[in-house]
Each structure stands twice: as C-alpha cells, then as structure tokens.
C-alpha cells in the first residue's frame, strides 16, 4: 500500500482515504462519494480493528461480507480497496499505541475505556500505510471524529479531516453496520433515538436553552420504551467537547446519545446551531 501511495504521490496525485470496518452502508458510500469529488485517487480500507473492541464487546460477531463490500465499491469506481490482515497490522511483539488523553475519557470513553486508544492507533497505522492527503469520517461517531482531529493536530499529521453528516433510513434510524443485530421489534424501538433528538431540536426551536430540561424530556421519551437502556444523553460544545448547562447564541452543540436496545448498543447525535 505504501509503495502504491508513494507512486501516486510521485505522479502528483492526491489521495483520499475512507477508513471503514466493512459491511458498508449508504453512510460509508456518502464518504466515498465525497472523497471521489475531493481527491484524484480514493482508497477505502476495510479492517475490523480488534484493538478498539473490549473483551466483552462484539468483535467476533461484528458483521462482515467482503464480497458485498467490494461489489458496492466497484460500482462506485473506487480506485483501491485496502484489506489488510490483523496479523499484518499487529505483527508479533506489537507494542505501540497512540492515545489522545482528555476527550477520550468522557461519554463513550466512560463506557468503553479502551476504545479510542484502539481507534487512534489503527487510524495512525492507516495514515502511515495509505499516506492520504484527505481522510473522511462520519458525524455519527462525532466523538471519534473529534478525537481523530485532536490526534492529527497534536501529532502534526499532514492529512485534512472531513466529517460528513449522518445518513439516516427513511424512518430516521441512523445508518450503522450494527443495525443488523436488531430484530424487527427492536428496530422499531430503536427509532426512539432519532425521535428524541428531533424532540431536542424542536425544544431548541421553541426557545429552550436549558440543557437539563432538554435532557430530562429526552430521557422520559427514551425510558418510555421498555426495551431501552440509556448509557447517556449529553449536550456538549462542538468546538471543544465540553459539557454545557446553557445553550448560547452563535455557538454549535452536539446532543449525543448512547442507548441499548435489547442487547445492541447504538449511538446517535444531532448538531444544534444556536442562532
């Protein structure tokens, strides 16, 4: 991969990387489209990264279908698909990790304390392998995007990061490879996540600025679904990922949710622009 990228760069071409764990959906494909517009050459990586899963998580059952993924990518005329083996990425005696300190400790970090260390390490390895000019991530993993931006800034990676909006199913469910875990009834229950985010948006439109009130109303809505178990609802300043009590004019905030529906853990969010 490095040799291919070095050759492309010597030819003066720009490289866009879309890092994925496969089982692609329309959200991933929107990132590919964006990369294709911005870059001369698009590389999609498919790698289910073991170091970002804790031992009690779903690494072994994470959905995979490389042939289906390749078909999608061929249709989009993607230039390269990079599918390394775990043994190539984490060779024997592997011992180096990249860790962003502060923003990885809150929200997802409280529930998945080792997760972001795995993410930043693999993204760092992918950057060193593909040597992209641009890399594309989704807003659904808003905290992951913020963590990666922090890493790029701190470690001076010469890569521009682009974040694309969440792609949703027609009924509002945020696209996620993990949605396949949901039974029909659970999938219906899972709509409460996007409904509660809509509620937050509507409260803000009607003038509510107290995040405690917004969260409490969202909480009531989510708790009314029997099969749900909330990990958190938080409102944070989108610039610095700090929690906030009051929404202030001319600032942007994320409302972020993590919630279990049955045994499936889902995350979702919305960006509030206060004007």
What does the binding site for ligand PAF look like in residue numbers (CB under 6 A)?
A: 19-21, 49, 52, 119, 122-123, 141, 144
- 145 is written with which tokens? 């995007």
Give the containing element (helix H, strand E) for 4.
Answer: helix 2-10
> What's the min distance (Å) between Cβ of 231 and ligand PAF?
18
> What's the min distance (Å) between Cβ of 258 and ligand PAF?
15
Asked if residue 193 lies in contact with residue 207, where contact means CB atoms within 8 angstroms, the answer is no
Active site includes 115?
Answer: no
- 83 is written with which tokens? 């599918």
Nearer to ligand PAF, 41 or 122 (CB): 122
If one counts every other C-beta atom within 10 angstroms of the C-beta of residue 59, the result is 14
Residue found under tokens 């040799």: 3
d(CA 118, CA 96): 11
Nearer to ligand PAF, 28 or 36 (CB): 28
Which residue in the list 25, 28, 115, 188 is annotated as catalytic? 28
DSSP H helices in the chain: 2-10, 26-38, 66-75, 86-89, 108-111, 115-130, 142-154, 184-205, 211-223
Give the single-character DSSP code of 167.
Answer: P
> What's the min distance (Å) between Cβ of 141 and ligand PAF?
5
Residue found under tokens 């923003």: 103
Nearer to ligand PAF, 19 or 109 (CB): 19
> What's the min distance (Å) between Cβ of 275 and ligand PAF?
30
Where in the sequence numbering do the catalytic residues fall? 28
């Amino acid at each position: 991969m490095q040799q291919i990228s070095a050759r492309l760069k010597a030819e003066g071409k720009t490289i866009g990387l879309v890092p994925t764990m496969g089982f692609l959906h329309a959200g991933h494909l929107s990132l590919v489209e964006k990369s294709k517009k911005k870059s001369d050459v698009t590389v999609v990586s498919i790698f289910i990264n073991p170091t970002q899963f804790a031992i009690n998580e779903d690494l072994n059952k994470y959905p995979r279908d490389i042939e289906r993924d390749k078909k999608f990518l061929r249709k989009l005329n993607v230039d390269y698909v990079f599918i390394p083996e775990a043994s190539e990425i984490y060779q024997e005696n592997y011992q180096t990790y990249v860790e962003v300190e502060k923003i990885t400790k809150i929200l997802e970090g409280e529930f998945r304390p080792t997760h972001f260390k795995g993410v930043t390490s693999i993204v760092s390895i992918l950057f060193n392998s593909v040597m992209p000019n641009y890399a594309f991530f989704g807003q659904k993993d808003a905290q992951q995007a913020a963590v990666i931006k922090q890493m790029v800034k701190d470690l001076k990676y010469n890569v521009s990061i682009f974040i694309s909006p969440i792609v949703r199913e027609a009924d509002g469910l945020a696209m996620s490879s993990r949605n396949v875990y949901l039974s029909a009834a659970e999938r219906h229950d899972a709509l409460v996540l996007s409904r509660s985010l809509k509620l937050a948006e509507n409260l803000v439109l009607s003038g509510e600025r107290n995040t405690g009130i917004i969260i409490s109303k969202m909480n009531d809505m989510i708790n009314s679904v029997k099969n749900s178990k909330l990990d958190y609802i938080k409102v944070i300043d989108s610039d610095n990922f700090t929690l906030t009590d009051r929404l202030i004019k001319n600032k942007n905030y994320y409302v972020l949710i993590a919630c279990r529906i049955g045994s499936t853990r889902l995350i979702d969010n919305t960006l509030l622009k206060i004007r």
